[in-house]
């Protein structure tokens, strides 16, 4: 008689898995089926309580689960077990006991299902298989499970011991050479973190040495695996293993064809491996030259310089051994001349000069089209060789079209003289006259540039429908700060409109805002743009303005404060940085809008931008201020401060005249900001904003005298000093920025120009605020004070530098580089530091953005190449030249102007103590040599020349230094004219765009 | 991969292989599905064996790839679909789709690539097993390589014992993506055109790591460069690592053509060889498969093509280029009507789009696609909304139509006007119609058509 329901229930209630298994011993399938439904129900019920909180904060596995798992395995049908999946699998010994007793017909299917879910069930399935309870599951996870040395073979001290304990597994080993595996289960992944005795490589070599596994098959299987183009990491195990078997030359000779075939592999290390093996055969004179010539092709197209060079060496030796193959050798080698590396190109030319047959028309045809792509230093050599061959197309000649020059000069003449001077057109014209390639960079005053581009005027929201649409959009996408500003402005102006169907029309928006608030941080305390927008929506649509409440200082990090917020649905908790930031300032502005929106008190916003970038047309601000005055309303002080800081430099005189009618202290600050003379009032924050708007880069003595010691960018303009320090006990360096005047003891929310500067960090501070600023937050913060971005860069630099090697995925960091792309942002010291760091960043998005900025800055004349070079030299301890060469090289490919600029930048890098020159300097020098050769220039920077003369180098670096010092300037090189004309064209273009803004 | 799936069985009469024969190598590609159980399409010789082999390896790489899933999940996902091959007038087209539904590849073997005879027309699956793919690597251009696609009945009978059978759950989103990618291609316009050597250099300059952000590929001198800034000259590419598939193939190419659609940020990269073409179609991002973009939903929701569709479908006869003007003339319809019908037929897997030719081609995917259309989630949801009478037109003034549609705990306002459709739901707010209409807009459109019919 089988177990009863009561017995099963008792066993389940006790959570005794063993007792439960015993209960079913010898039971018939009918007895089991009778209890299946009950067991199934009990197991599914327990799923909701898989883990129980035994003590506060500590969760442990529900002890009743084990017995429930046994019960379902012992009773349920296969279809029920399929639904339960791994929830019906108890500990393996008990599972084995239950199944061995039950012996269901579906056991093989069940085993397959289990393995498909996870290879870790290998041991249980193997136990069943060895007892003929199930058939061998023919799925990859069976063999991958075998790899799990901790689970499958972990009882043994070594993989070898585990395999010998189950000798049948020795026959299964071969499948491991056929399946790739995955991140967790593969030979490479297993061996990477194992002790030597725990490695599969060690075990298989030992078993081969002992004669338990055939050596020849292991050698062949590893080559078979390499031919399968597994992912690089996983493929590398097989090449290592092949070499670990230490094949003899005779064994390698037998497999020469296989090595040759591996030259076609898509996996670069496999190609290198094959080349090494072929090199051994070549040295032993066992490699037929014909085979090399026939198969080497794919290796010549490899991206890796070393691989191509090795392939060329093999070809060289093949030609030496069998001279009648010289023609095919040179034709094959010619393919490699398209490689990017000058070293490879040089090796190709060496080989061709050594083995090339005179008047080989086909070879000339192969090489001819590549001449223009060749490194500048090698072009004359190739050209000389080509000229000795018949049937070579004539060298392409280019010249500057005189019509282009005339057209440019005509455009230049039409420009306003002041604008032309400001945009550096005059300098460029002088350089054209003197045929001088080096141009002074533009060092413009941000106040001198017109900013208001009519094409980029912000269109205010016109009606309620548009407001609802745009608001709904910014709740999903906050990336455009101008859209955020349009919404704030729209709510501020239209919040008194309440048509009958208002609730129906705004219902979805309200719901969405409340959904966000129930999940994230609370609004109005500086937690980000989304939270603030949701807070505004709630106020406008529900009439509720709820502020988060601070509960306490964080237990472990006193720079964090713990808050809670009543989101109308639930109470959410979140952290906030203890000091106010520009984000808090923006929150306060949103809060002011929310308070008015909640009561339907509509009014225009003073600080709503009139143009993209956050700029306000001064005339428009005056109009708004007068409108508010006519309505007998006072603007919010945060809005007033924000409005002053967004004042564009355009039309200030006109605005100043109109601003005479604005009353009160705000009126005084507006006039002062616009350049008027006013007595300094008492509202320190308003006057600080006015002083910074009046002239962002200079000290304002009057404001400083009245409101002294308020910190950087208050009365006094901030000055920065950067330093690179080595972190204690690490090889890493850190960048810190000191600001003068020093930061204040108390941070005042309304003095936002001070807040935009770097804040001192406590030594143990980990959760500093910057890392929690999203892309949208950063973009919004950029609009707070668009005129002066040095403080922005100074604050951003440590954050960016600390993640230069991308040890943490901080995707928002690339936003820090965005302002560099603006042609109207001057590249001052902090901006240059940011650009330099970006060029050396590991993350391709960051380095790519910096490269874009560099390309643009060379074109528009903002870049002082020597200053950037000096900045890179200053950062030398923390940046890698290999990365720098990549980004600078990309920029140099754009135009002759960029080649010249990059050559100047690199010369700027060559300063300091030559004795401590970085080890990876060679690549930089190579780029310098190619750039100078291309331009027909010499090393003209005295400091760089001195540096090169004193440097103690050997080998390739020493050769490069000699070649660099030997370079001489070529008179009137055409390419320099092209560079000059490009510079002139871009400067004229910029001047014309400024003129359009003034119209 | 979670979600509904079509359980499909591949049953090949033998495993595809590269076999040595006394006269050279023979690449035997096994077929299954389509009009016949194991169709026989081609027998002949490859004129440029290594290049063809490289192209097929590139195709295999796409089949194997899942560009945005952690590697730990790969084993389960890689058991996916084989490429399909279409044999039409004079072109053999191999199509493959990545497991993540974000990348589509097609190899067109033109007459110059193959020296032999087409034995039949149609579309079928082709076995692309790992051993065969690995063997392709050893083909050199000097080799003599025969290609057979399918086999004669006699040979099939001889090989009955070596049947290869594989059951694969083909996720519906994968199937949907495979058919919808055709609609994207039809909307793309030529953007970049550079020489093969410059293309090769460009692909080699791409960053090695994974680039998460959208980048813009723009002209720079004779070649291309990657920019992080949007530009009018540039083509937006998200998940740029997908382009690396072309790195090895570009050395064979004489030209690279890039087609793109700005609004959807999708692009097609075509490597043009003398005797073949390799198309790589990229979705806007690796995590945005073509299936979720909903570009054909409006066409599927409407029934304006009910009369045109059967006529256009009946005219399909395995053309390698469908002549739209000729069809328009034949049926006395506008070209737009024919194009719209072809777009819907594309969404049903009955035609593909060839950007190089600028024309649709007939091919019938060898899967049962009836469920795919039924299970378009947004379309299904829209119909459910209508079944529950969840949509109500509240205003109709001239071209402006307003409707209220039930949402989750709230009613959404849908407005249809000449400027397009608008909805107050978060989906619309986020994408503003760029990823197709939301279910609320679809529901109103279906409702309006139903009203018009009545």
Asked if the C-beta of A266 comes within 8 angstroms of chain B's C-beta atoms, the answer is yes
CB spacing of B422 vs A469 below 8 angstroms: yes
Q: Rounded to whole angstroms, how far apart are CA atoms A677 and A668?
A: 9
CB spacing of A266 vs B426 below 8 angstroms: no
List the beta bridge partners of residue B397. B400
CB spacing of A266 vs B61 below 8 angstroms: yes
CB spacing of B429 vs A472 below 8 angstroms: yes
Please report which confidence band the pLDDT of residue B128 belongs to, taking 50, 70 and 90 as the band edges: confident
Query: For B245-276, b where at least 16 C-beta lie within 10 A, e where not — what string?
Result: bbbbbbbbbebbbbbbbeebbbbbbbbbbebb
Q: What is the pLDDT of residue B74?
A: 47
Both tokens assigned to A112: 């397959």
Asked if the C-beta of A509 comes within 8 angstroms of chain B's C-beta atoms, the answer is yes
Q: What is the pLDDT of residue A117?
A: 87
Q: Rounded to whole angstroms, how far apart are CA atoms A118 and A721?
A: 57
Q: Which of A184, A472, A508 is the best mutation test for B, with the most CBs of B within 10 A?
A: A508
CB spacing of A472 vs B74 below 8 angstroms: no
Q: Which residue of A has its CA nearest to B415?
A: A465
All residues at 6 or more sequence positions from A816 whose CB lies less than 8 Å from its CB, including other chains = A778, A792, A793, A796, A799, A800, A834
Q: Which residue of A has its CA nearest to B74?
A: A182
Q: Which of A143, A177, A182, A504 is the best mutation test for B, with the most CBs of B within 10 A?
A: A182
Q: Residues A328-364: pLDDT tens digits?
A: 999 999 989 999 899 999 999 999 999 988 888 889 8
Q: Residues A331-341: pLDDT tens digits?
A: 999 989 999 89
List the beta bridge partners of residue B223. B220
| CA B208 to centroid of chain Cα atoms | 26
> What's the gap in Å between the CA of A505 and the closest CA on chain B?
7
Distance spanning both ends of chain B, measured CA to CA: 43
CB spacing of A844 vs B430 below 8 angstroms: no
> What's the gap in Å between the CA of B441 and the closest CA on chain A?
15
Percent of chain A with pLDDT over 70: 96
Beta-carbon count within 10 A of B12 CB: 24
CB spacing of B429 vs A844 below 8 angstroms: no
Q: What is the pLDDT of residue A691?
A: 97
CB spacing of B228 vs A116 below 8 angstroms: no
> What's the gap in Å between the CA of A245 and the closest CA on chain B?
24
Using a CB-CB distance cutoff of 8 angstroms, which residues of chain A are in contact with residue B133? 228-229
Using a CB-CB distance cutoff of 8 angstroms, which residues of chain A are in contact with residue B213? 811, 814, 845
Q: Rounded to whole angstroms, how far apart are CA atoms A112 and A117?
A: 9
Single out the residue of A946, A914, A935, A929 nearest to residue A979, CA to CA: A935
Given a cut of 90, whether residue B411 has pLDDT beyond it is yes
Q: Residues A167-197: pLDDT tens digits?
A: 999 999 999 999 888 878 899 999 998 888 8
Secondary structure element (H or E) that encloses residue B328, with its range:
helix B324-331
Backbone angles phi, psi at A119, to 5 degrees: -65, -15
Given a cut of 60, whether residue B160 has pLDDT beyond it is no
Using a CB-CB distance cutoff of 8 angstroms, which residues of chain B are in contact with residue A854? none
B59 contacts B107 by C-beta, under 8 angstroms:
yes
Q: Which of B209, B212, B429 sits opposite A473 (nearest CB)?
A: B429
Q: Which residue has the higher pLDDT, A751 or B209?
A: A751
Indicate the Cα dihedral angle A743, A745, A749, A752, nearest 10°: -10
Q: Rounded to whole angstroms, how far apart are CA atoms A162 and A197?
A: 11
Q: What is the pLDDT of residue B324?
A: 93
Q: Which residue of B has its CA nearest to A511?
A: B410
Given a cut of 80, whether residue A715 has pLDDT beyond it is yes
Asked if the C-beta of A821 comes within 8 angstroms of chain B's C-beta atoms, the answer is yes
Q: Which of A184, A297, A852 sits opposite B229 (nearest CB)?
A: A852
- Rounded mean pLDDT, A612-618: 96
Q: Which of A230, A844, A982 is the best mutation test for B, with the most CBs of B within 10 A?
A: A844
> What's the gap in Å between the CA of A355 and the closest CA on chain B?
23
Single out the residue of A868, A886, A856 nearest to residue A982, CA to CA: A856
Question: Which of A171-180, A744-753, B152-161 is the least confident region?
Answer: B152-161
All residues at 6 or more sequence positions from A948 whose CB lies less than 8 Å from its CB, including other chains = A910, A914, A939, A961, A964, A965
List the beta bridge partners of residue B257. B193, B270
Question: Which of A7-11, A366-370, A586-590 is the least confident region?
Answer: A366-370
In A812-960 the beta strands, taken as DSSP E runs, fall at: none
Please report which confidence band the pLDDT of residue B130 belongs to, taking 50, 70 and 90 as the band edges: confident
Q: Which of A231, A505, A511 sits opposite B413 (nearest CB)?
A: A505
Please report which confidence band the pLDDT of residue A149 belongs to, taking 50, 70 and 90 as the band edges: low
CB spacing of B201 vs A508 below 8 angstroms: no
CB spacing of A229 vs B133 below 8 angstroms: yes
Using a CB-CB distance cutoff of 8 angstroms, which residues of chain B are in contact with residue A475? 426, 429
Both tokens assigned to B127: 């076995």
Q: Which of B137, B203, B246, B419 is the best mutation test for A, with the most CBs of A within 10 A?
A: B137
Single out the residue of B72, B81, B37, B95 nearest to residue B278, CA to CA: B95
**How many beta-carbon pairs below 8 A join chains A and B?**
125
Distance spanning both ends of chain A, measured CA to CA: 101
CB spacing of B425 vs A507 below 8 angstroms: no
Given a cut of 70, whether residue A767 has pLDDT beyond it is no
Q: Which residue of B has its CA nearest to A894?
A: B220
Q: Which of A294, A507, A843 sits opposite B410 (nearest CB)?
A: A507
State the complex-level ipTM: 0.86
> What's the gap in Å between the CA of A23 and the closest CA on chain B?
37
Using a CB-CB distance cutoff of 8 angstroms, which residues of chain B are in contact with residue A477? 430
């Amino acid at each position: 008689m089988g177990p009863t329901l009561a017995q099963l229930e008792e066993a389940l209630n006790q959570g005794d898995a063993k007792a439960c298994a015993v209960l079913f011993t010898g039971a018939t399938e009918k007895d089991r089926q009778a209890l299946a439904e009950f067991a199934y129900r009990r197991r599914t019920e327990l799923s909701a309580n898989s883990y129980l909180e035994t003590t506060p904060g500590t969760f442990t596995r529900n002890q009743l689960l084990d017995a429930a798992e046994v019960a379902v395995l012992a009773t349920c049908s296969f279809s029920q077990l399929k639904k339960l999946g791994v929830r019906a699998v108890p500990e393996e010994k008990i599972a084995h006991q239950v199944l061995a007793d039950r012996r269901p017909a579906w056991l093989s299917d069940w085993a397959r299902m289990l393995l498909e879910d996870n290879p870790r069930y290998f041991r249980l399935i193997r136990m069943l298989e060895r007892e003929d309870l199930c058939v061998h599951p023919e799925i990859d996870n069976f063999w991958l499970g075998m790899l799990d040395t901790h689970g499958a073979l972990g009882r043994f001290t070594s993989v070898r011991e585990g395999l010998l304990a189950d000798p049948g597994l020795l026959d299964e080993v071969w499948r491991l050479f056929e399946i790739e595996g995955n991140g967790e289960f593969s030979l490479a992944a297993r061996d990477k973190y194992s002790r030597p005795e725990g490695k599969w490589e060690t075990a298989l070599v030992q078993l081969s040495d002992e004669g338990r596994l055939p050596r020849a098959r292991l050698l062949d299987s590893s080559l078979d695996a390499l031919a399968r183009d597994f992912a690089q990491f996983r493929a590398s195990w097989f090449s290592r293993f092949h070499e670990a078997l230490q094949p003899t030359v005779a064994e390698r000779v037998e497999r020469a064809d296989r090595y040759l075939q591996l030259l076609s592999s898509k996996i670069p290390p496999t190609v290198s491996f094959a080349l090494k093996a072929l090199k051994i055969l070549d040295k032993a004179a066992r490699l037929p030259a014909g085979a090399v010539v026939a198969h080497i092709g794919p290796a010549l197209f490899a991206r890796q310089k070393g691989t191509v060079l090795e392939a060329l060496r093999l070809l060289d030796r093949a030609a030496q051994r069998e001279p009648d193959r010289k023609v095919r050798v040179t034709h094959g080698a010619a393919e490699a001349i398209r490689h990017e590396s000058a070293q490879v190109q040089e090796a190709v030319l060496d080989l061709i000069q050594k083995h090339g047959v005179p008047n080989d028309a086909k070879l000339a045809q192969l090489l001819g089209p590549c001449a223009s792509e060749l490194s500048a230093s090698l072009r004359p050599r190739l050209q000389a060789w080509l000229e000795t061959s018949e049937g070579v197309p004539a060298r392409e000649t280019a010249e500057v079209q005189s019509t282009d020059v005339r057209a440019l000069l005509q455009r230049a003449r039409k420009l306003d003289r002041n604008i032309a001077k400001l945009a550096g057109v005059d300098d460029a014209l002088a350089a054209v006259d003197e045929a001088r390639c080096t141009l002074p960079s533009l060092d413009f005053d941000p106040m001198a540039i017109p900013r208001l581009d009519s094409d980029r005027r912000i269109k205010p929201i016109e009606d309620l429908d548009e407001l609802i649409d745009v608001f709904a959009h910014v709740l999903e996408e906050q990336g455009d700060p101008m859209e955020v500003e349009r919404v704030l402005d729209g709510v501020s102006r239209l919040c008194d409109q309440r048509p009958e169907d208002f609730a129906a029309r705004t219902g979805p928006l309200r719901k969405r805002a409340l959904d966000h608030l129930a999940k994230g941080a609370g609004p109005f305390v500086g937690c980000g743009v989304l939270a603030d927008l949701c807070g505004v929506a709630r106020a406008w649509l529900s009439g509720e303005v709820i502020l988060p409440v601070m509960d306490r200082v964080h237990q472990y990090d006193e720079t964090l404060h713990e808050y809670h917020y009543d989101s109308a649905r639930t109470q959410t908790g979140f952290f906030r940085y203890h000091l106010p930031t520009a984000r808090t300032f923006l929150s306060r502005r949103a809060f002011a809008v929310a308070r008015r929106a909640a009561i339907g008190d509509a009014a225009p916003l003073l600080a709503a931008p009139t143009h993209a970038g956050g700029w306000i047309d001064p005339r428009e601000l005056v109009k708004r201020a007068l409108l508010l005055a006519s309505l007998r309303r006072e603007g919010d002080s945060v809005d007033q401060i924000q409005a002053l800081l967004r004042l564009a430099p355009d039309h200030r005189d006109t605005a100043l005249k109109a601003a005479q009618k604005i009353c009160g202290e705000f009126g005084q600050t507006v006039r002062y900001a616009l350049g008027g003379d006013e007595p300094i009032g008492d509202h320190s924050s308003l006057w600080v904003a006015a002083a910074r708007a009046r002239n962002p880069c200079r000290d304002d003595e009057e404001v400083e005298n009245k409101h002294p010691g308020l910190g950087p960018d208050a009365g006094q303009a901030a000055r920065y000093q950067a330093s690179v320090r080595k972190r204690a006990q690490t090889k890493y360096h850190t960048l810190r920025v000191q600001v003068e005047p020093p930061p204040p003891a108390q941070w005042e929310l309304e003095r936002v120009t001070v807040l935009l500067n770097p804040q001192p960090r406590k030594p143990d501070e980990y959760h500093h605020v910057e890392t929690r600023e999203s892309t949208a937050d950063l973009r919004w913060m950029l609009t707070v004070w668009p005129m002066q971005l040095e403080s922005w860069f100074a604050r951003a630099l440590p954050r960016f530098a600390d993640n230069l090697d991308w040890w943490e995925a901080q995707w928002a960091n690339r936003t820090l580089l965005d302002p560099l792309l603006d042609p109207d942002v001057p590249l001052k010291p902090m901006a240059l530091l940011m650009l330099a760091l970006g060029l050396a960043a590991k993350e391709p998005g960051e380095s790519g953005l910096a490269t874009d900025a560099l390309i643009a800055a060379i074109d528009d004349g903002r870049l002082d190449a020597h200053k950037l070079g000096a900045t890179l030299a200053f950062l030398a301890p923390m940046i890698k030249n290999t990365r720098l060469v990549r980004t600078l090289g990309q920029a140099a490919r754009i135009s002759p102007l960029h080649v010249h600029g990059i050559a100047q930048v690199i010369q700027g890098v060559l300063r300091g103590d030559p004795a401590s020159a970085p080890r990876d300097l060679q690549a930089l020098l190579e780029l310098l040599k190619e750039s100078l050769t291309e331009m027909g220039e010499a090393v003209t920077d005295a400091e760089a020349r001195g540096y090169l003369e004193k440097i103690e180098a050997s080998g390739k670096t020493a050769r490069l230094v000699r070649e660099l010092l030997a370079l001489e300037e070529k008179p009137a090189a055409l390419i320099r004219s092209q560079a000059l004309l490009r510079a002139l064209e871009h400067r004229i273009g910029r001047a014309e765009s400024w003129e359009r803004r003034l119209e | 991969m979670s979600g509904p799936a079509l359980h499909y069985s591949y049953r090949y009469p033998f495993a595809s292989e590269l076999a040595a024969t006394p006269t050279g190598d023979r690449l035997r590609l096994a077929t299954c599905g389509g009009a016949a159980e194991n169709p026989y399409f081609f027998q002949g010789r490859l004129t440029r064996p290594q290049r063809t082999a490289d192209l097929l390896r590139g195709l295999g790489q796409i089949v194997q790839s899942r560009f945005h899933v952690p590697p730990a999940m790969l084993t389960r996902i890689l058991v996916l679909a084989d490429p399909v091959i279409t044999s039409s007038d004079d072109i053999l087209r191999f199509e493959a789709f990545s497991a993540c539904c974000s990348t589509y590849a097609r190899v067109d073997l033109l007459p110059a690539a193959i020296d032999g005879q087409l034995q039949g027309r149609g579309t079928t699956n082709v076995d692309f097993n790992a051993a065969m793919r690995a063997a392709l690597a050893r083909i050199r251009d000097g080799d003599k390589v025969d290609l057979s696609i399918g086999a004669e009945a006699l040979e099939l009978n001889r090989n009955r014992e070596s049947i290869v059978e594989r059951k694969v759950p083909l996720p519906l989103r994968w199937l949907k993506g495979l058919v919808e990618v055709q609609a994207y291609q039809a909307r793309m316009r030529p953007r970049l055109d550079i020489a093969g050597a410059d293309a090769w250099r460009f692909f080699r300059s791409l960053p090695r790591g994974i680039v998460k952000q959208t980048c813009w590929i723009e002209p720079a001198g004779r070649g291309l460069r990657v920019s992080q800034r949007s530009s009018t000259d540039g083509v937006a590419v998200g998940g740029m690592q997908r382009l690396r598939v072309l790195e090895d193939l570009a050395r064979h190419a004489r030209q690279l053509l890039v087609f793109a659609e700005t609004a959807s940020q999708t692009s097609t990269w075509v490597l043009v060889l003398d005797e073949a073409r390799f198309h790589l179609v990229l979705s806007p991002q690796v995590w945005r498969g073509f299936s979720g973009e909903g570009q054909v939903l409006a066409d599927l929701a409407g029934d304006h093509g009910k009369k045109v569709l059967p006529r256009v479908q009946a005219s399909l006869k395995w053309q390698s280029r469908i002549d739209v003007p000729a069809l328009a003339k034949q049926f006395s319809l506008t070209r737009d009507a024919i194009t719209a019908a072809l777009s819907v037929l594309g969404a049903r897997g009955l035609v593909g789009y060839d950007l190089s030719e600028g024309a649709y081609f007939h091919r019938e995917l060898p899967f049962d696609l009836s469920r795919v259309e039924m299970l378009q989630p947004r379309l299904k949801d829209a119909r459910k909304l209508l079944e529950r009478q969840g949509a109500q037109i509240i205003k109709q003034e001239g071209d402006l139509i307003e409707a209220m549609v039930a949402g989750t705990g709230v009613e959404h306002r849908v407005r249809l006007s000449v400027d397009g459709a608008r909805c107050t739901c978060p989906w619309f707010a986020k994408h503003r119609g760029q990823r197709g209409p939301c279910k609320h807009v679809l529901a109103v459109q279906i409702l309006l058509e139903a009203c018009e019919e009545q």
